[in-house]
Amino acid sequence: MTSQIQPKPLKGILPVAPTIFTETGAIDLEGNARTMDMMVDQDVDGICILANFSEQFLLTDEERKTLAEACLKKVAGRVPVTVTCSHFSTKIASERAKHAADHGASMLMLMPPYHGAALQADDSMVEHFAAIAKASGLPIMVQDAPLSGVKLSVPFLVRLAKDVPQVCAFKIEVPFAAAKLRSLIAAGGKSIIGPFDGEEGITLMADLDGGAIGTMSSALLPDLIKPVVTAHAAGDRKTAAALYKNILPLINYENRQCGLRAAKAVMLAGGVIKSDHVRHPLAPLHPATREGLLELAREVNPLALRWGK
């Protein structure tokens, strides 16, 4: 359906950047710029913006454009930037993709089109991704997450990768992710260039064992997750497991107790940003939950807890 390009694989740690707001809920462009600088200093291999963990569904279309342009300009090619362009409308997703490409994005990430219990992965979804690929000319990562409610089978993902070669990366966040990664890699072969772990790294070791070449965590502790990925890639599983064991309590607390609010809370405590505001209907962290998070963060001392001090 599209030209037979050979996308450049991204690997390693590609964390999601939170969207920073003021206490009144306005976009804080200065805070977002500082976040980009902090994430580069975390020695990440790339940054993902406007994802679910960026509160993308709480942003207006104009805010999305403003943030995409500001973040890409601030990063200025220091690391690759992935822009999330998920939308039910093929036309809107394609427009978002072209805008990202025009402003310097290196890759796109999309969930399948959803909003409807009867939606299935079928020809129309292949056409959806093909249109976005044509509009942008960029590699595409498929986000296989429960949030979409659309079941993406291994045969469908393999078909998608072969029919639309720009679809080359796959962020697997469903239950039994490691098993799905193994099956996807075995069935897709060279078409599966970028199998990735997600969900804050809560199943990272199993997913690396399953063939993931990287992870898309939050901005909370990528500087501490990267050594796990690096050691595993070098064949030193014992060291990777020991490093992961040390940070797993914080990853677990983020995933199970805080969600997207965790990174902001730690960044606020670390002087990176002035507010950890989340937009309604999301609620702020309970003070006890916040203290539990910071207690665990202080034990491992991620850069986000000290970057701005």
Assess if residue 259 is contained within a domain: no
Q: What percent of the chain has pLDDT over 70?
A: 95
Buried b (16+ CB within 10 A) or exposed e, 223-234: bbbbbbbbbbee
Q: What is the pLDDT, as a whole number, of residue 232?
A: 98
Q: What is the pLDDT, as a whole number, of residue 83?
A: 98
pLDDT in tens, 211-248: 999 999 999 999 999 999 999 999 999 999 999 999 99
Tokens of 205: 């070791």
Assess if residue 303 is contained within a domain: no
Assess if residue 112 is contained within a domain: yes
CATH number for the domain that contains residue 78? 3.20.20.70
Distance of alpha carbon 309 from alpha carbon 218, whole angstroms = 21
Assess if residue 99 is contained within a domain: yes
Bridge partners, 21 (sequence order): 27
CA angle 35, 290, 84 (to 5 degrees): 40
pLDDT surpassing 90 at residue 1: no
Assess if residue 309 is contained within a domain: no
User: Does residue 270 sit in helix, strand or coil?
Assistant: coil
Assess if residue 168 is contained within a domain: yes
First to last CA, the chain: 51
Tokens of 166: 């720009």
pLDDT surpassing 80 at residue 119: no
Total number of domains in the chain: 1
pLDDT in tens, 244-302: 999 999 999 999 999 999 999 999 999 999 999 999 999 999 999 999 999 999 999 99
pLDDT in tens, 56-79: 999 999 999 999 999 999 999 999
pLDDT in tens, 174-208: 999 999 999 999 999 999 999 999 999 999 999 99
Neighbouring CB atoms inside 10 A of 247's CB total 21
Continuous segment of H or E residues that includes residue 262: helix 261-269
Contact 221, 194 (CB under 8 A): no
Assess if residue 247 is contained within a domain: no
Distances (CA, A) of 111 to 87, 127, 149, 151, 232: 8, 14, 10, 11, 28
Tokens of 125: 């979804």
Domain that holds residue 150: 12-237
Active site residues: 171
Contact 270, 304 (CB under 8 A): yes
Assess if residue 148 is contained within a domain: yes
User: Does residue 250 sit in helix, strand or coil?
Assistant: helix
The number of residues in the chain equals 309
DSSP letter assigned to residue 258: I
Q: What is the pLDDT, as a whole number, of residue 6?
A: 53
Neighbouring CB atoms inside 10 A of 57's CB total 9
